[in-house]
């Protein structure tokens, strides 16, 4: 599904009929995290590109999103589990669960939702960068 997601009453998931992500969410999240990680002078990161062989690298970062949404209480939530492993290994060096919440969103303000989600992705990226050996 490519529509932006909101929840109502904590149980009803609503997909926007007109407000959509500009790219597939997995690729967009990968790109955003890679850009955030690359802002560190010690890290050069590359995003996920389907169909392309990965460049030479030392570590893999895996992210599983559980929640990436706004709710009718004006809260924006990013809940995810991420892990870092040596390239080619499936054994994590470290892994964490994040639950980042920002308040102050006005339901229906989709540009505001995207801004707050972006801030949350940046915050998660900082946590990942700090954990990379």
Read off the pLDDT of residues 47-58 as tens digits, 9 standing for 90 and up.
877 777 778 889
Look at the chain and report how many structural domains it folds into. 1
Shortest CA distance to 87 belongs to which of 55, 126, 63, 42? 55
Place of tokens 């949350």: 120
Any domain includes 5: no
DSSP code for 49: -
Higher pLDDT pick, 41 / 71: 71
Q: Which domain holds residue 119?
A: 22-131
pLDDT value, residue 3: 77
SS3 73: coil
Query: pTM for this structure?
Result: 0.87
105: tokens are: 């969103």
Any domain includes 113: yes
| CA 108 to chain CA centroid, nearest Å | 21
* Mean pLDDT, the chain, integer: 89
Q: In 10 A of CB 124, how many CB atoms?
A: 22
pLDDT tier, 67 (very low <50, low <70, confident <90, very high otherwise): very high
Q: In this structure, are residues 80 and 63 in contact, taking their beta carbons and an 8 Å threshold?
A: yes
What is the spatial distance between Cα 131 and Cα 77, in angstroms, rounded to a whole number? 22
Shortest CA distance to 112 belongs to which of 8, 19, 12? 19
Any domain includes 101: yes
The whole-number average pLDDT for the span 9-14 is 82
CATH code for the domain of 103: 3.30.160.150
The whole-number average pLDDT for the span 66-86 is 95
Which strand ranges, in their side-by-side order, compose the sheet holding 75-86? Answer: 12-20, 3-8, 59-71, 75-86, 92-103
pLDDT value, residue 53: 79
pLDDT value, residue 16: 82
Any domain includes 3: no
pLDDT tier, 1 (very low <50, low <70, confident <90, very high otherwise): low
The whole-number average pLDDT for the span 36-41 is 86
């Amino acid at each position: 599904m490519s529509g932006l997601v909101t929840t109502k009453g904590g149980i009803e998931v609503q997909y926007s009929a007109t407000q959509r992500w500009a790219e597939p969410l997995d690729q967009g999240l990968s790109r955003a995290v890679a850009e955030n990680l690359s802002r560190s002078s010690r890290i050069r990161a590359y995003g996920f590109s389907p169909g392309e062989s990965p460049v030479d690298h030392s570590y893999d970062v895996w992210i599983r999103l559980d929640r990436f949404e706004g709710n009718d209480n004006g809260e924006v939530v990013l809940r995810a589990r991420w892990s870092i492993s040596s390239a080619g290994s499936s054994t994590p060096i470290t892994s964490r669960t994040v639950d980042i919440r920002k308040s102050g969103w006005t339901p229906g303000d989709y540009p505001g939702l995207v801004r707050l989600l972006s801030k949350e992705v940046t915050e998660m990226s900082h946590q990942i960068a700090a954990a990379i050996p």
